[in-house]
Amino acid sequence: MKILLLLFTPLFIFAKVHYAKVESYESIVLKSAVSALVLDVDLESEGTMVHGKRVIYLDDKLDQVNLTSSKKSVTLLQQMHDINHDIAQSLEETVKRQEGYFNRINKLTTASKTQKDNAYSSFTSAKTQYLGTREKIINLETQILDMEHKVAQLEDSIRKKSLILENKYLYKLMIRKGDFVNPGSPLAQIEDISKAKLVLFLEPEELTDIDQKSVYLNGEKTEYKVDKVWKVADEKFISSYRAEIYIPTPKGIFSKLMKVEIK
């Protein structure tokens, strides 16, 4: 029995050796939020780091026309609002004067009924004009809000029709010029290579005191730790648990295979 234990001990140690590819920190598939014709695709940027460059351009001509006219409408509505605001101020003063005149003449016993009726009619007419102008101002303010909302929607739609990447690795473009996309259509796959990761599938016993264990890469001890461990067994490797180790971006290429030991 002692001989058997000696024979199996090295096998147990070798079972804890893992091999993992150096992967990008995150892989993302960008999808369209709008329906549009694809006008341009920068195929030359595929497989490169992209810094503040548009790689996909969807048709936004109609949005641009609508945006220009909508902004002009906002300006005109604002001018109408300002004019009616000035009119309302003048009418408010007129209402005050007409009301004061009516109150004075209404107390005079020497004033005729016709004079009093005319004074009251002038007062109510001025007040009706003032209230009508105030109502128009409120309607204009509502129209301005609606039009400003439309402008914001158009600007958002235009932004979504230009895919501009900032410090991202463009792995793959999934559309071509002349295609028509709908909301949810895949546009491009990008990779975040600001750092890299190693994905392992660990046995339950390897998880014991894992925070205290060191990570060895290609036989050399490192300062890295296991950064993340899934608490639920993997769907494919049903007896193992996914774990990730984050490392700096490699100087060479990704996808290199590394020997990983945790002990």
| Radius of gyration of the chain from its Cα atoms, rounded to whole angstroms | 37
What does the pLDDT read at residue 3? 41
What does the pLDDT read at residue 233? 85
What does the pLDDT read at residue 118? 87
**Model confidence, pTM:** 0.73
What does the pLDDT read at residue 174? 96
What does the pLDDT read at residue 10? 42
What is d(CA 128, CA 83) in angstroms, rounded to the nearest whole number? 18
What does the pLDDT read at residue 59? 97
List the one residue out of 58, 249, 252, 257 whose CA is nearest residue 167.
Answer: 249
DSSP 212: G
Give 87's contacts (C-beta < 8 A, 6+ positions apart).
133
DSSP 263: -
Structure tokens at 21: 């590819």
What does the pLDDT read at residue 39? 97
What is d(CA 156, CA 145) in angstroms, rounded to the nearest whole number? 16
What does the pLDDT read at residue 188? 96
Mean pLDDT in runs of 10 for the chain (263 residues)? 41 64 92 95 94 95 97 97 95 90 84 85 90 95 97 96 93 96 96 91 88 90 91 83 91 85 88
